């Protein structure tokens, strides 16, 4: 059984990987995120792509990606005419991804991160704890960090589960449906850094309402 950490020596070739960034009004951080991903992928992967999904941003996110990476064959831009939500953006990226999960994780179908130390305020951590507790109680989901965005999984998983959430609940829905289908999950520790630019939308009332609506919709479906 593999440990919680891997090194480059552990990776058999070839490695093919798609990295997806759902974005909304991220002009101040998207360049840094894409550059960081490209630096890592260049070192570990033989074939790779970075997919930026611009979810109807009202700032210069789309323009920045086009200007900086327009001629970079490893970066693709998908743009929504209007904002459809984090879940809808993630689904757009997954549906267009060319590469599968790296085959070196043979014992698992999904590898998900859990944040060792969340770089957030007390209120946000409290909300996250309550939300996670609710989902664990309703769905018996056995993971430490419900909404950590770091996920690595076989494309087969997404192809076999029917994900309907358009909002932030999509992270939980993927895990709930994957567990119900019997896919094998592995949790690994990841670092969590404070946001350097822009503002998160997770605390907006519209986002919260949609998440609860999609949560109870799935609960009624599965129960």
**How do the domains of the chain map onto residue ranges?**
13-99, 104-223
What mean pLDDT is predicted for residues 135-157? 88
Question: For the chain, what percentages of helix, strand and coil (3-state, to nearest 5) are there?
Answer: 40, 15, 40
Angle between helices 122-139 and 205-222 (to 10 degrees): 10
Report d(CA 109, CA 156) in Å as an integer.
9
Quote the mean pLDDT of the chain. 85
Most confident among 115-119, 162-166, 200-204 (mean pLDDT)? 162-166
Confidence of residue 219 (pLDDT cuts 50, 70, 90): very high
pLDDT at 95 over 50: yes
- Contacts of residues 43-47 at CB distance under 8 Å and 24 or more positions apart, as own/partner, are 43/8, 44/8, 44/11, 44/15, 44/17, 45/15, 45/16, 45/17, 45/102, 46/13, 46/14, 46/15, 46/16, 47/14, 47/15, 47/16, 47/17, 47/99
Q: What is the pTM of this model?
A: 0.78
Quickly tell me which residue has 């009332």 as its tokens.
205
Q: Tell me: the pLDDT tens digits for 167-191?
A: 989 999 999 999 999 999 989 888 7
Secondary structure (3-state) at 14:
coil
Q: Tell me: the pLDDT tens digits for 21-63?
A: 999 999 999 999 999 999 999 998 899 999 999 999 999 999 9
Sequence-distant (6+) residues with CB within 8 A of 114 are 143, 144, 145, 148, 187, 188, 189, 190
Beta-bridge partner residues of 113: 188
Is residue 167 within 8 A of residue 214, CB to CB? The reply is yes
Confidence of residue 103 (pLDDT cuts 50, 70, 90): very low
CATH number, domain 13-99, options 3.50.50.60, 3.90.550.10, 3.30.390.30, 2.70.98.10: 3.90.550.10
């Amino acid at each position: 059984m593999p440990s919680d950490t891997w090194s480059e020596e552990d990776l058999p070739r070839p490695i093919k990987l798609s990295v997806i960034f759902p974005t909304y009004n991220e002009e101040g951080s998207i360049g840094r995120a894409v550059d960081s991903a490209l630096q890592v992928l260049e070192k570990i992967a033989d074939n790779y792509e970075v997919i930026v999904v611009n979810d109807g941003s009202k700032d210069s996110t789309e323009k920045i990606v086009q200007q900086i990476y327009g001629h970079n064959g490893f970066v693709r831009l998908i743009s929504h005419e209007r904002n459809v939500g984090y879940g809808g953006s993630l689904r757009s990226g997954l549906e267009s991804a060319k590469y599968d999960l790296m085959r070196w994780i043979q014992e698992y179908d999904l590898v998900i991160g859990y944040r060792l130390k969340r770089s957030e305020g007390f209120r946000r951590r409290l909300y996250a704890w309550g939300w996670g507790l609710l989902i664990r109680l309703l769905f018996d989901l056995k993971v430490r960090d419900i909404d950590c965005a770091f996920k690595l999984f076989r494309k087969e998983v997404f192809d076999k589960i029917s994900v309907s959430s358009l909002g932030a609940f999509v992270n939980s829905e993927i895990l709930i449906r994957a567990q119900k289908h019997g896919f094998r999950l592995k949790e690994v520790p990841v670092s969590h850094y404070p946001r350097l630019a822009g503002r998160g939308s997770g605390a907006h009332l519209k986002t919260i309402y949609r998440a609860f609506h999609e949560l109870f919709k799935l609960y009624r479906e599965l129960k």
